[in-house]
Structure 1
Amino acid sequence: MHGAGSSGWLLVALCAATGAYCLLRMRSAVEEQRRTAGGEALMGFGMAVMAVPAAVVTPPRWAWAVHTAVFGAAALRALWGARTGGHHLHHLVGACAMAYMALVMARGGHTGVPVLTGVLLVYFTGYVLWTGSRLIPVTAAGRPGGAAAVGWGDRLELARACRLSMGIGMLAMLLGV
C-alpha cells in the first residue's frame, strides 16, 4: 500500500482498469453477475485509491476511517450474501482484508498483525493460483445461441482475468502491510 513510484502507479492502473471493466460488467442481463461485478468494482477502485504512491498524496487519517467503514459495510453485505454460498465468501474475505489494511494505514501503516497478514497472504496466494489455473478460455460451445449470444461483458474468462488481477493486487498490497 502506498508503494514506491512506478510500481505503485502500475498497481493503481491495474486496479482502476479492473474496477472500470467491472462497472461495464454491471450491464449484464444476469442479476447475479451484476451484483458480483458491483462488489468487484468497489474492490478495484478501493484498491486503486489505497495504492496511490505516498509521495503524490498522503490522505488524512480520517480518510482511512471512511475506507474502513465502506469496506466494513461491504463485508456485511457479502456476509449476508454468503448464506447462499458461491463467490460471496471470497468477497467477504476481500472486504475484510481491505478494512484491515485501512485500519493499519489509519494507525500509521506497516503495523499490521503478522499472523492475520500471513493468513490473508496464504489465502490470496491460493486464490491467485486457483483463478489463474482456470483462465483457459471458455468456449461458446454448449451455450445456447453460440458465441453471438454472449456479450463481451458476460464473458467468463474476462471476469476471471479481472479476479486474477485483483488477487495479484491484493497480494502486492498485503506485502506492504
Structure 2
Amino acid sequence: MHGPALVSWLLAALTAAAGTYCLSRLRDPSCEQPGAADRPGLFGHESNAAEALMGLGMAAMAVTGGLVPPALWAWLFGLPAAGFLVAALAPGPPARRAHRLHHAIGALAMTYMALAMAGAAGAHAHHAAGGAGLPPLTGGLLLYFGAYTLWAGSRLLATPSGVLRSGTAGLPQACRLTMGIGMFAMLLTL
C-alpha cells in the first residue's frame, strides 16, 4: 500500500482488530446467521472465517505489502475468491448467495491489489506517471466498496443503542463497516 506510514499503521490496527474479533467469533457455538436453517451455525462460521481472513489479511498487506512477494498474496486471496465464487453460484437462499458473492469480490479485490503491486514493482513504479492497476477496474471497486461502506454504516445506525454496548448485534456490523473502509482506503492508495 502506498501512502503515509501513519495511515498504513492505522489501517492495519483497525482491520486487525476487526479480523481478530471475527476470529474470536469462530469459537462461539451460537455463531449463526439468520436464514441458515438448513445447517445451523455453518453459514455464520463460514462468514466469520471469511471476514477474519480479510481483516487480518488487509492488516498484514497494509504493513508488509512490499516485503511479502505479491504472488503469495495473490494465492492467499485468489483461492478463497474462487471458492466463494463457486459457493455463490450454488443453489441456496439469495441472501446467502449475495453474501458469498460479496466475500468473493473482497478476495478478488485483494488479489487484484497484490497483482497490481507485482506489476508496479516490475515496472519500477517510482518512475511511472500513474498508479498501479487498471483505472477502470480500480474505479469500479472503489464504487462498490464505497457503496458497501455506506450501506454497512446505515445498518449500524439502525441497530438499537443498547445492542452496540452489549456487543450482540452492533459489533459485527461495526467490523463490516471497518473492513469496508479499509478496503476502500487500500484501493484509493493503489
TM-score category of the 2 structures, normalised to the smaller one: 0.7 to 0.9
SS at match of 2:63: coil
1:156 CA displacement: 2.9
Distance in 1 (alpha carbons) for counterparts of 2:187 and 2:101: 19
Secondary structure in structure 1 of the residue aligned to 2:48: helix
Say which SS state the counterpart of residue 15 (structure 1) adopts: helix
Aligned counterparts of 1:46 and 1:124: Cα–Cα separation in 2: 17
- How big is each residue's C-alpha offset from its partner over 1:58-78, in whole Å with a ceiling of 9 and x where there is no partner? 315xx2101101111010111
What CA distance in whole angstroms lies between the structure 1 residues aligned with 2:18 and 2:152?
15
The answer for the alignment partner of 2:42 in structure 1 is 31
* Contact 1:2-1:52 within 8 A present in 2 as well: no
Q: Bigger relative contact order, structure 1 or 2, given CA contacts below 8 A and separation 6+? A: 1
Please list, as runs of the form range in 1=range in 2, the aligned pairs for 1:1-177 lying within 5 A after superposition.
Answer: 1-29=1-29, 30-52=41-63, 58-60=66-68, 63-83=69-89, 84=92, 85-108=97-120, 110-135=131-156, 136-137=158-159, 152=167, 155-177=168-190
- What corresponds to 2:37 in structure 1? none
Length-normalised TM-score, structure 1: 0.83
* Inter-partner Cα distance in structure 2 for 1:76 and 1:92: 7
**C-alpha distance in 1, partners of 2:86/2:134?**
26
Query: Which residue is 1:144 aligned to?
Result: none
Question: Aligned residue pairs: how many?
Answer: 161
SS at match of 1:111: coil
Unaligned runs of 5+ in 2: 30-40, 126-130
Q: Matches of 1:92 and 1:138 in 2, distance apart?
A: 30
Identity %: 48
After TM superposition, the score normalised by the length of structure 2 is 0.78
Q: CA RMSD in A?
A: 2.1
Structure 1, 39-48 or 81-90: larger mean CA deviation: 81-90
Deviates more, 1:130-139 or 1:108-117: 130-139
**What residue ranges of structure 1 are gaps of 5+ in the alignment?**
141-146
